[in-house]
Structure 1
Amino acid sequence: MRAQYLILPLLLLIANVSFSQVKRTRGAFLMGGNFDITIVAKDSITAEQNIDTVIAEISRIEYLISDWKPETQVSRVNQNAGIRPVKVDREVLELTERALKISELTHGAFDISFAAMEKIWKFDGTMTTMPSPEAVQKARQKVGYKNIIINKDSSTIFLKLPGMKIGFGALGEGYAADKCREMMMARGITAGLVNATGDIQAWGTQPNGKPWRIGINDPFKSNDLVGVIAINGAITTSGSYEKYALIDGKRYTHIINPATGYPATGLTSVTITGPSTEMANAFSTSIMVLGKEAGLKLLKQFPLYKAFMITDTGKYVASRGFKIEKLRR
């Protein structure tokens, strides 16, 4: 029955079952988006208590790395761009370090300093005309991961250019999901799922022993899926069909190519599976910019990660080992 599916970029397909363990799911608005937290535990009280713990952990991370809250450490780094280094917690420093390594790996296709482009691109439905080439070029001059300076000894981050800005929108939710899985496993919760606005980390199985099943949205057909996969680990999707600007009848993705200052083209959707949600998110974002050929070449260096791509023309491209179950019509 198609009615059993609610359509999201990535969706947990939940079966209502009752076994020796119980499953509880709760939604929360965190890090600027909707999170769904599912915990499998011996009883409902234990499950609910651990959901509270997960929400508290995500909130803690939000108040470290969110760039839209002026009091966070990342916001203070941005406020002091071109002025002085800002001392941050080791956790923020290490997340920034990993982001810079991904930038080097992808030759700049992934770049947390793309956030400076947010001044001229709006993907909330309000933008109806293209920014001028001059505005794009001026904003692009503030983008460049090589101008992010980390000092490990003093635990500081410095943005060399005035007007620079870093943002963890392409890593933050995935990082939070990974941290919550790690925390829950340490507390003896051997099964659960954190859906961080489409960046999903799942571990263990459902109470009936069956794997978690995730639906992948069809970007060309509203309220439809291209297929479902069983997952124990991370799955993320980056795409141009949920968050975009519609200008003169053309859809522009929110994922910016740092090299040009314009939205990426060629791919409509990239889904990545693997052990880490943070890395899967970084890869899905990077490959939207790199394109299918360069994206597949990149993933050959990381055999634990698999990709499923949908091109702007609707063609499906899967890396070796990506297993998807097509839905029966």
Structure 2
Amino acid sequence: MTIFPGTARVEMVMGRPVSVDIRTALPARELNPLLDDAFAWLRWVEDTFSPVKEDSQIGRLNRGQTIRQIPELIEVLHRCDELSRATDGWFEARINGVTDPSGYIKGWALERLSRALSNAGAGDHRINAGGDIRVRGSAAPGKRWRIGIRDPRKDVIRKVVFANDLGVATSGSAPIRDPHTGEVVEGLGSVTVIGPDLGVADAHATAIYAMGPLLARRFAADLAESGPYQTMIITRDGQEVSTPGFAGYSGAEARMAG
């Protein structure tokens, strides 16, 4: 099989291994600085937005201290407010007076990084940070990226998604709280949302998981009807419910396309 040249790197960021896999044919003198910049950006995001780091801007905000007027910080907080309204409050970055954009920030950071890599000429890449994955371009000539979605109960691939340009966000591996009560929610196994913006997909996956089984299905159906975001829900007992557009990325047609 013909493969793309390129390079990949894995480093620990945000408490998890993050991989950046670039398949575009670029010389090493360009690829290595791109990877250096990629992980520098992710560490800056962690240092700025982590709610557990006392010297982060979010940490300072939660303690009522002065924060720097960083454009990205303003953008993220504003976007979190928009997503809260779009999900009827099921995605919420402020719970019990504490600001924590974790349900959005990882997807947002990877989405921004993906755009930066494309602008730098590395249009064929895959970024993976736990349940959040962003792909662009091709994995090999004429081949879409193959993205495995794991079963929340077993360490096996439950579904495979094929795409050239897609964000894939899965919620359920880490505790998610009901923003109305502050209690940890355990009604579903996992929620995967796919779409063009990984940050938005990440927030919607978090919100849908928090809703619980019945409301989650209705919201996912409405979300699919109104825009490009598709959802797959796996219940606690292993049942799978997907919106119709999800099959376009995981069915026989997608496999035949690469």
**TM-score normalized with structure 2 length:** 0.87
Q: CA deviation at 1:88?
A: 2.8
After TM superposition, the structure 1 stretch with the greater mean CA deviation from structure 2, 307-316 or 268-277, is: 307-316
Moved over 3 A (4+): 84-87
Offset at residue 192 of structure 1 (A): 0.4
Give, in angstroms, the shift of residue 302 of structure 1.
4.0
Matched, 1:229 2:161: yes
1:93 corresponding residue in structure 2:
74
Paired residue type of 1:225: I
Contact 1:200 1:234 in 2 (8 A): yes
User: Structure 1 residue 325: deviation in Å?
Assistant: 4.5
Distance 1:320 1:78 in 2: 41
Q: TM-score, normalised by structure 1?
A: 0.70
Distance 1:298 1:276 in 2: 18
Write out aligned runs for 1:151-166 (5 A).
164-166=97-99
Q: Which residue of 1 aligns with 2:114?
A: 181
Q: Which runs of 5+ in 1 are unaligned?
A: 1-16, 115-142, 144-163, 244-253
Partner residue, 2:47: 63
Report if aligned partners of 2:126, 2:136 keep a CA contact under 8 Å in 1.
yes
Please give the per-residue CA displacement for 1:258-285, whole angstroms capped at 9, x wherever unaligned: 1222222432110111011100000000
- Structure possessing the higher relative contact order (Cα contacts under 8 Å, 6 or more residues apart): 1
Structure 2 residue identity aligned to 1:37? V
Structure number with larger C-alpha Rg: 1
Instruction: Provide the rounded CA distance (Å) in 2 between the counterparts of 1:216 and 1:53.
Output: 28
Aligned-pair CA distance for 1:168:
1.9
2:36 is matched with: 52
- Structure 2 SS opposite 1:109: coil
Spell out the pairing of 1:307-326 with structure 2 (5 A cutoff): 307-323=231-247, 324-325=250-251
Aligned equivalents of 1:42, 1:33: Cα separation in 2: 28
Partner residue, 2:104: 171
Map of 2:217 onto structure 1: 293
Alpha-carbon separation, structure 1, partners of 2:130 and 2:101: 14
**The one of 198, 210, 213 aligned to 2:131:** 198
Q: Does 1:112 align with 2:93?
A: yes
Equivalent AA in structure 2 for residue 52 of structure 1: D
Figure out how many residues of one structure are paired with residues of the other and give that number. Answer: 245
- Whether the 8 Å CA contact 1:214–1:230 is kept in 2: the answer is yes
Identical columns (%): 27
Determine if contact 1:308/1:316 at 8 Å carries over to the other structure. yes
Q: 2:203 aligns with which of 276, 282, 294?
A: 282
Q: C-alpha distance in 2, partners of 1:265/1:42?
A: 45
Other-structure match for 2:256: none
More helix by share: 2
- Counterparts of 1:190 and 1:67 in 2: how far apart (Å)? 32
Q: 1:85 to 1:295 in 2, by over 3 A?
A: farther
8 A Cα contact 2:193 2:231, kept in partner: yes
